[in-house]
Structures are given as structure tokens and as C-alpha cells.
Amino acid sequence: MSVFGSIMSRIFGHKQASAAATPSGASPAAGSGTGAAPAAPVAGTSSATDDQPKISAGAAPGTVPGTATPVVPGSAPMPSGAGAATPVPGEVGQQPVDVEAVLTEMAEKNPQKLDWRHSIVDLMKLLGLDSSLENRKELAKELNYSGDTHDSAAMNIWLHKQVMQKLAENGGKVPEALKG
């Protein structure tokens, strides 16, 4: 999976975990349009909702859709296909993910004081991703950075802004202050 894909997965997947843990939260798959509960898919297999955030198939029989334990990166087999667990912009039934709220919640639970609002390094650390210069250069390449990758300060500032803008373009609700 791409570095940006990992960032999206951690943020958008976290939102789904929070929604599933909240009984009053709407089912993440509610907009699938079938009106029926999933037909007990086997973990790791394809279904008609592969582009929807994944919910574990290990839920007890009779469990209300959307209340099963969500798949967390690193805790269950991930489906094939780099973007399978991330929402598609404009997809029917998709609610925008409040990126700021998700990251604030994660920061409150993190023992480290991370300045994720301004630092790409701290943002990546908060998400449990490799924040090394090499990995940031890879992210810069993915996002078509045209500046000098040897000037890591300028690259880092650009990366943070670009990541926030791309999150907004891909179904995230991002405040203007974080995009610019």
C-alpha cells in the first residue's frame, strides 16, 4: 500500500471503528443499497462492497450490521488491492470523515505530545506510520513533489499541506486552517 494510502486507511478506518463502537452510530455499510444484511462473507474474500470500509466477518450470528468489530490495520488479513479499505469520493452513502476530530481523539489517547496539526512527522507518528526521511521522500514522490527533497524542512511543510488537501479530496472533512 502507498504511504498516502496508509494515512487514509488509518484515519478513515479509525472513524469506522469509532462508529461501530457507538451503538447509536449509523452502519458504515448502510448506504450499500441492498437493504439486506451481508451474507456472512468469509474473511479475506471479495464481496459486492469491497470499496466500503471493512467490518470483520467474525461477528456472532445475528449481529446487527455495523456493530461487528471493525478490521484494524495489522490485526486481521487485509484485502488485496491498495485502496480497498478507503472510501471513494462521491460514493453513495458515504459520510465525510471529520479528519480533525479523528486525529484529535487519537492524540488525546497518545502518551506522546505530538504536533500533528503542523508536523508531517508527528502526524505520521500519531498514525503509527514510519516517519523516516526515506518514507517521507516516498510520500513526496507519490504526491508529485517537485521541490528539492534534500531540503527536508520545505518538503515537510509541503507534505503536511498536501496530505490535508488530499484527505479532503478523498472524503475527509478538513478545516481550511489545516489545508493551508
Percent of the chain with pLDDT over 70: 55
Among 38-47, 96-105, 145-154, where is mean pLDDT lowest? 38-47
Among 3-17, 36-50, 93-107, where is mean pLDDT lowest? 36-50
Residue 61, class by beta-carbon neighbours within 10 Å (0-12 exposed, 13-18 middle, 19+ buried)?
exposed
Among 10-19, 56-65, 153-162, where is mean pLDDT lowest? 56-65
Q: Structurally, how many domains does the chain consist of?
A: 1
pLDDT in tens, 34-53: 444 444 444 444 444 444 33
Q: Which residue has the higher pLDDT, 37 or 119?
A: 119
Which residue, 122, 44, 140, is CA-closest to 85?
A: 44
Residue 146: the pLDDT is 97
Residue 15: the pLDDT is 57
Structural domain span for residue 111: 1-180
pLDDT at 148 over 80: yes
CA distance 167 to 169: 5
Residue 179: the pLDDT is 87
When mean pLDDT is compared over 12-26, 50-64, 161-175, the highest value belongs to 161-175
Average the pLDDT over 79-84 and give the result.
42
